[in-house]
Amino acid sequence: MAEEEIKQVNAKDAEVKEKAVETTTTEAPKATRKSKKAKRIVNAGAVHIQATFNNTIITVSDKSGGVLSASSAGANGFRGSKKGTAFAAGVAAEKALEIAKKNHALNSVDVYVKGIGLGRDAAVRAISAAGIKIDSITDITPIAHGGVRPKGERKP
């Protein structure tokens, strides 16, 4: 009885070794090449500038809001208090618009400015200096109005 079990175990080991040899000798299937994604051509888009005291973020999108490129002062190597400067905002705007112009053939934009940082004007100037036509400039900075009346009883 014990001899039969040993023979069965040895037979199973032999099968496993054969399968291992088969799997190692077979060649891996060749990877199929993924075709390059076609670049979208966008003639008119929107540039959103968020200018805070600490940083300036530039986002270039198409008219429906799909982002084409983005850049910020921090992403361009500025650190600390230098991120909030007008020069850093100009560099960030140049970088974002260079990518959008090169990859998507962008040539006219609507500019939406949000915030009260130093980079507001510098970013708009950088857009016009990049050779992109500015159709409109809109300030969308939120304005606080005190909010709604708080819940609860009025205090005497």
What would you report as the CA-atom Rg of the chain, rounded to the nearest whole angstrom? 30
Per-residue pLDDT at 38 = 72
Question: pTM of this prediction?
Answer: 0.71
Residues 73 and 84 sit within 8 Å (Cβ to Cβ): yes
pLDDT, tens digit, 9 for 90 and up, residues 33-43: 776 777 789 99
- The angle at the Cα of 138, spanning 140 to 87, to the nearest 5 degrees, equals 90
Distance, C-alpha 8 to centroid of its chain? 60
Per-residue pLDDT at 135 = 97
pLDDT at 22 over 60: no
How is the beta sheet containing 44-51 ordered, strand by strand? 67-72, 56-62, 44-51, 108-114, 133-139
pLDDT, tens digit, 9 for 90 and up, residues 116-153: 999 999 999 999 999 999 999 999 999 999 888 888 87
pLDDT bracket for residue 72 (50, 70, 90): very high
Per-residue pLDDT at 152 = 84
125 sits in which H/E element: helix 119-129
Q: Span 44-139: which CATH code? A: 3.30.420.80
Domain ranges of the chain: 44-139
Per-residue pLDDT at 69 = 96
